[in-house]
Chain A
Amino acid sequence: MKSNSKRACLLSVIFMGLGQLYNGQIVKGILFAAIELVFIVYLLPFIRYGLWGIFTLGETPQAFVDGKVVQGDHSIFLMVYGIIAIVLIFIFVILYYFNCQDAYKVGKLRDNHIQPNNFIKSLKLAGEKGFPYLMLLPSIFFVLFITVVPLIFGILVAFTNYSSPNHIPPRKLVDWVGFQTFVDLFTLSGYKETFFGVFGWTVIWAVLATVTTFFSGLIFAVILNSNGIRLKKFWRTVFILPWAVPGYISILVFRNIFNAQFGPLNNWLVSIGMNRIQWFGDPMWAKIVCLVVNLWLGFPYFMALMSGVLTGIPRDLYEAAEVEGANAIQKFFKITLPLVMFATAPLLIMSFAHNFNNFNLIHFLNSGGPVNTNYKYAGHTDILLSWIYKLTLEQNQFNKACAVSIIIFVIIATISIFNFRRTRSFKEEDMIQ
């Protein structure tokens, strides 16, 4: 028995579309062949250039010949071309694989003496089967070029020496250095202290910022949900305001309120006969101000959220507890708190992750200041993310910034996976709906 399937598949491996032609599907075969031709004729030169670029990152640096600048290779552009080339190869390989598979399948039909579809029919079939892909096409394109390619680029930069002052294109070339950037980050004097110092504060900050907002939110939710409080609606509307006002604006307003020289807070302190406080000049005060402003911004969200949870707790739980003679404090710790914790624990962890990367607050409030002389390009209140911002935009230390970004990714990914697992187990427990 002759095997059409294998033969068609083999032909398609040799050149796209050959197998389809062998199977008698002329239009389809020509289309596939056209794809390969376009690839070879138009894209191959670019892909070769890109691959050469990403492997070598350029070979000729900018030079001066007779007082004139002769442009060399631009390592960073070469790297971007290289990534795009790899993406193109990837797409081509998928198409190639699909082409071989198609030839094999149609060949198999012929082996079983079934007439293969004509072009119109297979187009219809492809339309049905490929419908999801067609729908996703615009999003894939967007995500690929706005996020995936830039992220791959960012990851790759961490493994180069792309940094000021010696490796900034177009004047100088950039080279691959492997894990040297990470080693520098952990061992180089100056960077070592900064990394561990900033990392420590980031963790402390994230924990305190989360805990303070969470529990203040809880306290006010409990108060506003308890019996006998008047004007509930009024209090709730007022307390939700900090959440509704754009955070960026509130933070900038606080930046001015706490201004040491001209700010209204210090003016008031002076008017009641006290000394000015260097809110942003003193490391300790600066940290406290960050936490206080974050509390102001963050507690309403948790309050609103927990109000929902509290109204969901069945009343008979409390009534039963009252029958047993429980007082208010016991009711809070034995009923309210466990149930609220149960429902909001995943949010607590998400909030931690959010605060870990709360760039806006730190940057807009006081730009990470005051400056820490032991640190390299960072201040006392800088968190990892705002340090990255400074490394990238102010100091051109791109490789270090990307290396720190990768470390942040590892931390956030770990937290998220942990959270994801817990959320699942929460759902299975089915305690609260």
Chain B
Amino acid sequence: MKKVTIKQRVIRAFVYFLLICITITTILPLYFVVIASFNPGNSLFSTKMFPETLTIKHYRDLFVEKDYALWYMNTLKIAVSSMVLTVILVIITSYTLSQFRFRGRKSGLMILLVITMFPGFMSMIAIYLLLLQVGLLDTHLGLILVYSGGNIAGFTWLVKGYFDGIPRSIPEAAKIDGAGNATVFTRIMLPISFPIITFVAVSSFIGPWMDFIFARLVLRTPSKKTLAIGLFEMVTGRQNTEFTMFAAGAILVALPVTILYMSLQKYLIQGLSEGASKI
């Protein structure tokens, strides 16, 4: 063993000090929102970092005073539907663009790439008008279609890049062994591309929980509200008198999402980095 010099000890102490500081800054805001949700008071001002008593009143109020359960169901419904639709559309599109050669393929890919570079707001007015025309304004279906349609361009490049990366010899070998097109697709290509599909599924599932802009644009009736709108309205008022209730609502959203992200960390980070290096 090498002897640990004083200099090394100082460096090590400093590193641990740094790690502890960052841990505190990371945890503190999260602790704050958790403790706020159990705080007896209502407003931001009365929220204490170390309250004497804890209460679950705010969680109960969410369901009694607000339509929290309804918002949760609305959001869940929209999120699941747009996830399913996105995954199906993106897989079909990217598989076709990756494995087949046909006229218009290159220009199609170029169009998809160009689309992703425009700010999303630009399409807001026209989407509103189009939904109004076909009678889908203020419906969940309208919002689901907007989310799924908007997802195609971005994710297709990502998944196509992944399909491109699968060596051609693998499906070819399967075909020689007598597998049909469908078998090759379901038994070989889909399992290999599992990480990227997970990424697409989780991202498109999370989107509706977080999106505020399009939800507000499309949905008008209070009973159709999603969580993002409901939570935002609770906390942007002048007095912040509903802060603790917001905290409780936020915890109920953040908990499942955080667990999902933590457990799928590997796939999600890989997906993000793949996307950037392919486009």
Question: Are B149 and A145 in contact, with the CB atoms below 8 A?
Answer: yes
Answer whether residue B23 sits at the interface, using C-beta atoms and an 8 A cutoff. Answer: yes
Bound together, the chains give a CA A145 to CA B130 distance in angstroms of: 8
| Interface status of A212 (Cβ within 8 A of chain B) | no
CA distance A389 to B114 in the complex (A): 21
Q: Which residues of B contact A371 (CB under 8 A)?
A: none
Majority secondary structure of chain B interface residues (helix, strand, loop or mixed): helix
List, in ascending order, chain B residues with CB within 8 A of A155's CB.
122
Q: Does A133 touch B at the CB level, under 8 Å? A: yes
Given the known interface contacts A139-B93, A143-B152, A151-B115, the answer about A301 and B206 at a Cβ–Cβ threshold of 8 Å is no
CB distance from B273 to the nearest CB of A (A): 6
Question: Bound state CA distance, A385 and B30, in angstroms?
Answer: 28
Q: Is the CB of A135 within 8 A of B254?
A: no
- Bound together, the chains give a CA A133 to CA B101 distance in angstroms of 11
Listed residue (A154, A249, A264, A346) with the most chain B CB atoms within 10 angstroms of its CB = A249
Specify which of A151, A244, A388 is in contact with B123 (CB 8 Å cutoff): A151
Q: Which residues of A contact B279 (CB under 8 A)?
A: 350, 416, 419-420
A262 CA to B240 CA in the complex, in Å? Answer: 9
Asked if A248 meets B212 with Cβ closer than 8 Å, knowing A132-B102, A139-B152, A346-B276, the reply is yes
Q: In the assembled complex, which residues on chain A have CB atoms less than 8 Å from the CB atom of B247? A: 253
User: Which chain B residues border A76 with CB–CB below 8 Å?
Assistant: 125, 129
Does the CB pair B118–A405 fall under 8 Å? yes
> Are B119 and A256 in contact, CB atoms less than 8 angstroms apart?
no
Whether B276 and A413, one on each chain, are in contact in the complex, defined by CB atoms closer than 8 angstroms, is no
- The smallest C-beta distance from B26 to any residue of chain A, in angstroms, reads 6
Q: Is the CB of A264 within 8 A of B240?
A: no
Give the contacts of B196-220 with A (CB-CB under 8 A). 206, 209-210, 212-213
For B108, the chain A residues whose CB sits under 8 A away are 136
Kindly list 17 other residue pairs between chains A and B, CB separation below 8 angstroms, not including A143-B115, A238-B26, A308-B269: A136-B93, A142-B145, A146-B123, A149-B126, A235-B19, A244-B261, A246-B257, A250-B29, A253-B29, A253-B33, A262-B44, A304-B269, A346-B277, A347-B276, A388-B119, A392-B121, A420-B279
> Shortest 10 CB-CB distances between A and B: which pairs?
A146-B149, A150-B123, A150-B126, A154-B122, A244-B261, A153-B126, A262-B45, A142-B149, A350-B276, A132-B100
What would 27 A/B residue contacts be, using CB atoms closer than 8 Å? A80-B130, A133-B102, A136-B96, A143-B152, A146-B123, A147-B123, A147-B149, A149-B130, A151-B115, A154-B118, A154-B122, A229-B19, A239-B23, A241-B26, A244-B257, A244-B261, A245-B261, A246-B210, A246-B253, A248-B228, A249-B250, A308-B273, A346-B277, A347-B276, A388-B119, A419-B279, A423-B277
Chain B residues packing against A (C-beta within 8 Å): 12, 15, 18-19, 22-23, 25-27, 29-30, 32-33, 43-45, 47, 49, 89, 92-93, 95-97, 100, 102, 105, 108, 111-115, 117-119, 121-127, 129-130, 133, 145-146, 148-150, 152-153, 156, 206, 209-210, 212-213, 228, 231-232, 235, 240, 243, 246-247, 250, 253-254, 257-258, 261-262, 265, 269, 272-273, 276-279
Residue positions of A touching B, CB distance < 8 A: 76-77, 80, 129, 131-133, 135-136, 138-139, 142-143, 145-151, 153-155, 157, 220, 223, 228-229, 235, 237-250, 252-257, 259, 261-264, 267, 296, 301, 304-305, 308, 346-347, 350, 357, 360, 364, 385, 388-389, 392, 398, 401-402, 405, 408-409, 412-413, 416, 419-420, 423
